[in-house]
């Protein structure tokens, strides 16, 4: 399956690279690959934002103007989709049904699937981190089993607790901090997914593969996230 | 900055929205942390220059004036940005100029006559917990600022600054030609980009031949415009990175210019981005001010940027005493 690359202008000192492919996972893997290549490059890049099938690249035009930068990026683009071996595998412990705010029963009712089956369908799928945004550390992961797909709530909650595991449409996510939100909450994750101090980092990167492991509430505080590089 | 901090100022009135800002954070975008930073980088840079600060020192970005604070130790301050009455102990002092202030003196900034935001620099710069090399405040992301948690400055807050053994001996003023004029009508030069070519040609005509008003729902995340609707394409779009100055058009057709506190990604169609120097002018626009759009080629935009940088580097502040 080939990837159709496009380099579009985005602004005064930004271009956006699109990887068009009928297979979104392939496109996303190609974007992660290009992101890594550009991180290692000597191009005068000031920031990058990988997301789904695009990579926004901001640069210092004083060092390298638009036409040169565009040509240099173009020379890096692979003609064929690379084998998707990049990215890490994360296993995130969650307690389905836990938390003060939880829609597990309501999700079972709306989808017509038993609670145990909802948990099984959600935890047996391996998800890909397509994008990180909305809030620091908020990872958009997909794709959810079609039987679990529900539209966002018509009235978003004003406060969703930190660590809430949630689903909406074809995606799943964990709220890194307490925030307003319109996704359906399935349970809780105890491990922090975004920390400010001291290292300012989030556990996931775009392109990572994530699995959720059901654990009992009593175990939640004792089981950490495991990362397979 | 690893230098020691001391209490430098106690705020009695912050006005509607006062925050610490510097040039913003770098490298947070892949994890969803935006850059933040001063909106009007021209006024911000001059405030630091007049206090002989480093180029990334934190200033207070004051929105719509009504700011008052007591100085807690002798230092040098400068106020740039909007045309506003700047007082020390009730006596008007020049903006775009540095002044020596003594412990106990009260400085105040009135609502601006022209422009919307002021930058208050202090010798050595304000300090706060650094996140990704910056103390810039982002309330939505709950990070940065004088407390580190995205809090805006409130009445009673004591601000910290770099402890200095001596303050600059020479007071400085900005040459007249660098002080912005704050017109009521701004032209935003747009570099075409993103989905520009997917917008119906009638939408582009609407955008280019109409004036838009700055909405009072604007904030540091984005300046919202209201006017003739620019119909966006209906094709679905994956969320993608939003660069500074991007012009995004939601389904209601009212453009939003994305600024320092914008989200890192978003799924609205975008027409491209406006020039940084025009965003500085836009950051000084008051609700109700008028803006219009013009198209500029990216190569011209970059030549213009280079010229602006050259001008800044070669325009020196003048000595006052």
Chain B touched by A55 (CB under 8 Å):
yes
The rounded distance, in Å, linking the Cα atoms of B4 and A27 is 48
Interface confidence (ipTM) of the complex: 0.96
Chain B touched by A175 (CB under 8 Å):
no
Pick among B276, B298, B299, B305 to test the A interface (most A CBs inside 10 A)? B298
Q: Is the pLDDT of residue B5 over 90?
A: yes
Nearest-10 crossing angle of helices B298-314, B276-283: 70
Domain extents for chain B?
A: 5-180, 185-313
DSSP classification of residue A2: B
- The Cα of B30 is separated from the nearest Cα of chain A by a number of Å equal to 5
Around B27, how many Cα atoms within 13 Å sit in the side-chain half-sphere?
9
The verdict on a CB contact (< 8 Å) between A66 and B275 is no
Kindly state the average pLDDT of the residues B54-60: 97
Neighbours of B129 (CB within 10 A): 14
Q: Give A 68-127 residues with CB within 8 A of chain B.
A: none
Q: Is residue B57 within 8 Å of residue B125, measured between CB atoms?
A: yes
State the distance between the two ends of chain B, measured CA to CA, in whole angstroms.
31
Q: Is residue A118 within 8 Å of residue A107, measured between CB atoms?
A: yes
Kindly state the average pLDDT of the residues B201-214: 98
Q: Is residue A15 within 8 Å of residue A49, measured between CB atoms?
A: no
The rounded distance, in Å, linking the Cα atoms of B76 and B123 is 5
Specify the CATH architecture of the domain A89-228: Beta Barrel (2.40)
Task: Dig out the tokens for B91 from the structure.
Answer: 């006596």
Is it true that A4-74 and A89-228 share their CATH fold?
no
Domain extents for chain A?
A: 4-74, 89-228
Q: Is residue B82 within 8 Å of residue B47, measured between CB atoms?
A: no
Q: Give residue A89's pLDDT.
A: 92
With residue A195 as reference, give the H or E element that holds it: strand A194-195
Q: Which chain A residues have a beta carbon less than 8 Å from that of B241? A: 10, 16, 48-51, 54-56
Chain B touched by A200 (CB under 8 Å):
yes
The verdict on a CB contact (< 8 Å) between A14 and B238 is no
The verdict on a CB contact (< 8 Å) between B30 and A137 is no
Q: Give residue B1's pLDDT.
A: 46
Could you tell me how many CB contacts below 8 A there are between chain A and chain B?
142
pLDDT tens track for B115-129? 999 999 999 999 999
Block mean pLDDT (10 aa), chain A, length 229: 92 97 92 94 97 97 97 88 72 93 96 97 96 92 95 89 94 92 93 71 89 92 84
Pick among B29, B257, B295 to test the A interface (most A CBs inside 10 A)? B29
Q: Is the pLDDT of residue B272 over 50?
A: yes
Confidence of residue B186 (pLDDT cuts 50, 70, 90): very high
pLDDT tens track for B129-177? 999 999 999 999 999 999 999 999 999 999 999 999 888 889 999 999 9
Q: Give residue A80's pLDDT.
A: 67
Percent of chain B beyond pLDDT 70? 99
Residue of A52, A134, A135 lying closest to B240 (CB–CB): A52
- The Cα of A218 is separated from the nearest Cα of chain B by a number of Å equal to 30
Pick among A47, A87, A140, A206 to test the B interface (most B CBs inside 10 A)? A47
Instruction: Indicate the fold that domain A4-74 takes in CATH.
Output: Gyrase A; domain 2 (3.30.1360)
Kindly state the average pLDDT of the residues B275-290: 97
| pLDDT top residue among B96 and B164 | B96
Domain B185-313 has CATH 2.40.100.10: yes
- The Cα of B217 is separated from the nearest Cα of chain A by a number of Å equal to 19
**Which residue pairs, CB below 8 angstroms and at least 24 apart, start in A116-121?**
A118/A148, A118/A186, A119/A186, A119/A214, A121/A145, A121/A147, A121/A148
The verdict on a CB contact (< 8 Å) between B30 and A194 is no
Q: Give residue B91's pLDDT.
A: 98
Q: Is the pLDDT of residue B207 over 50?
A: yes
| pLDDT top residue among B55 and A192 | B55
What is the CA A152 to chain-centroid distance, rounded?
Answer: 17
Q: Give residue B210's pLDDT.
A: 98
Nearest-10 crossing angle of helices B41-50, B276-283: 80
The verdict on a CB contact (< 8 Å) between A56 and B193 is no
**Alpha helix stretches (DSSP H) within chain B:** 41-50, 201-208, 276-283, 298-314
The verdict on a CB contact (< 8 Å) between B191 and A8 is no
């Amino acid at each position: 399956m080939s990837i159709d690359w496009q380099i579009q202008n985005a602004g005064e000192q930004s271009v956006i690279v699109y990887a068009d492919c009928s297979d979104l996972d392939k496109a996303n893997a190609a974007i992660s690959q290009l992101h890594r290549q550009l991180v290692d490059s000597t191009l005068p890049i000031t920031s990058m934002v990988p997301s789904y099938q695009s990579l926004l690249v901001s640069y210092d035009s004083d060092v390298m103007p638009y036409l040169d930068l565009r040509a240099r990026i173009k020379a890096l683009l692979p003609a064929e989709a690379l084998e998707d071996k990049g990215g890490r595998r994360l296993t995130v412990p969650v307690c389905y049904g836990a938390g003060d705010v939880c829609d597990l029963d309501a999700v079972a009712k709306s989808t017509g699937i038993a609670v145990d089956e909802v948990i099984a369908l959600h935890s047996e799928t391996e998800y890909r981190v397509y994008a990180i945004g909305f809030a620091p550390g908020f990872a958009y992961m997909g794709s959810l089993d079609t039987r679990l797909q529900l539209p966002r709530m018509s009235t978003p909650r004003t406060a969703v607790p930190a660590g809430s595991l949630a689903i909406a449409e074809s995606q799943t996510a964990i709220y890194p901090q307490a925030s307003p939100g319109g996704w359906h909450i399935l349970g809780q994750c105890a491990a922090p997914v975004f920390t400010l101090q001291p290292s300012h980092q989030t556990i996931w990167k775009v392109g990572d593969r994530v699995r959720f492991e059901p654990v009992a509430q009593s175990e939640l505080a004792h089981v950490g996230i495991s990362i397979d590089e | 900055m690893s230098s020691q901090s001391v209490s430098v100022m106690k705020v009695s009135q912050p006005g509607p929205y006062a925050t610490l800002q510097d040039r913003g954070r770098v490298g947070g975008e892949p994890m969803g942390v935006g850059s933040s930073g001063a909106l009007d980088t021209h006024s911000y840079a001059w405030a630091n220059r007049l206090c002989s600060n480093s180029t990334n020192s934190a200033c207070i970005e004051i929105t719509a004036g009504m700011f008052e604070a007591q100085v807690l130790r002798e230092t040098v301050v400068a106020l740039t940005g909007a045309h506003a009455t700047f007082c020390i102990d009730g006596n008007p002092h020049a903006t775009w100029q540095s002044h020596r202030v003594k412990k106990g003196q009260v400085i105040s900034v009135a609502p601006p006559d022209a422009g919307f935001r002021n930058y208050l620099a202090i010798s050595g710069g304000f300090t706060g917990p650094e996140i990704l090399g910056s103390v810039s405040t982002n309330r939505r992301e709950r990070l940065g600022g004088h407390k580190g948690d995205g809090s805006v400055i409130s009445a009673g807050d004591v601000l910290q600054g770099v402890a200095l053994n001596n303050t600059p001996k020479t007071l400085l003023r900005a040459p007249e030609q660098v002080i912005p004029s704050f017109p009521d009508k701004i032209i935003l030069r747009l570099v075409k980009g993103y989905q520009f070519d997917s917008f119906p040609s009638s939408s582009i005509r609407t955008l280019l031949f109409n004036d838009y008003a700055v909405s009072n729902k604007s904030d540091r995340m984005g300046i919202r415009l209201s006017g003739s609707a620019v119909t966006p394409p209906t094709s679905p779009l994956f969320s993608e990175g939003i660069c500074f100055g991007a012009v995004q058009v939601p389904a209601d057709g009212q453009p939003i210019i994305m600024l320092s506190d914008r989200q890192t990604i978003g799924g609205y169609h975008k027409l491209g981005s406006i020039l940084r120097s025009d965003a500085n002018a836009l950051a000084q626009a008051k609700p109700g001010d008028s803006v219009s759009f013009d198209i500029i080629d990216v190569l011209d935009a970059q030549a213009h940027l280079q010229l602006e940088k050259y001008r800044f580097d070669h325009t020196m502040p003048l000595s006052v005493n």
